[in-house]
């Protein structure tokens, strides 16, 4: 068996264990951009809750992979969570229309907790109005949108600006997952 560098096989990252993360879902999320970060964070010991407009609804990704919402957006309180993951695909164009999603993103931003966004997920951060002066990346297709929202856009695999972690597309998932986990590990220890 191959060992993961820096982590004993099966070991829990104690800086991340007991942390709770929201992963947003809606129809036509980019399958890898949802599931890769979710599993990466879970491998480190964090709890990840999938949240959609309707609790219990099965949302289907662009390539047919399902995701069942364990919670509705309305059930969530940002103070109960340590970060949020926003997948790409076409789901962000839907997610940005829910006032509760924007409220959660704004509150997590105000608390300086990690916000992970990849590909088209930047649309949600644009609608939350939290990108002015922030250095980010995204799919090049929404570069103009990001810059028009006041962001400083870079064509790099992963850009970390404080608590906002952004990536361009699926090939960037390994460094994106690591950067998000590093941001979680840097948070103060979870309360016992």
Residues identified as active-site: 119-120
Per the structure block, which two tokens stand in for 51?
């949240």
SS3 state of residue 154? coil
User: Distances in Å between the alpha carbon of 171 and those of 32, 69, 93, 158, 176?
Assistant: 10, 26, 22, 11, 10
Burial class (CB in 10 A: 0-12, 13-18, 19+), 83: buried
User: Distances in Å between the alpha carbon of 150 and those of 7, 70, 118, 153?
Assistant: 38, 34, 18, 9
């Amino acid at each position: 068996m191959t060992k993961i560098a820096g982590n004993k096989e099966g070991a829990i990252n104690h800086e991340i264990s007991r942390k709770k993360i929201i992963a947003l879902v809606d129809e036509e999320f980019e399958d890898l951009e949802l599931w890769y970060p979710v599993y990466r964070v879970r491998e480190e010991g964090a709890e990840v809750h999938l949240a959609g407009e309707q609790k219990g609804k099965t949302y289907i990704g662009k390539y047919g992979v399902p995701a069942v919402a364990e919670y509705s957006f309305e059930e969530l309180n940002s103070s109960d969570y340590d970060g949020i993951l926003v997948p790409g695909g076409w789901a962000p164009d839907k997610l940005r229309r829910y006032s509760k999603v924007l409220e959660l993103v704004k509150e997590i931003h105000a608390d300086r907790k990690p916000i992970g966004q990849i590909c088209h997920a930047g649309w949600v951060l644009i609608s939350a109005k939290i990108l002015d002066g922030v250095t980010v990346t995204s799919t090049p297709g929404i570069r103009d949108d990001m810059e028009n929202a006041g962001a400083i856009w870079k064509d790099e695999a992963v850009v970390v600006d404080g608590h906002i972690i952004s990536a361009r597309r699926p090939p960037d998932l390994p460094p994106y997952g690591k950067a998000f986990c590093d941001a979680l590990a840097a948070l103060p220890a979870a309360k016992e």
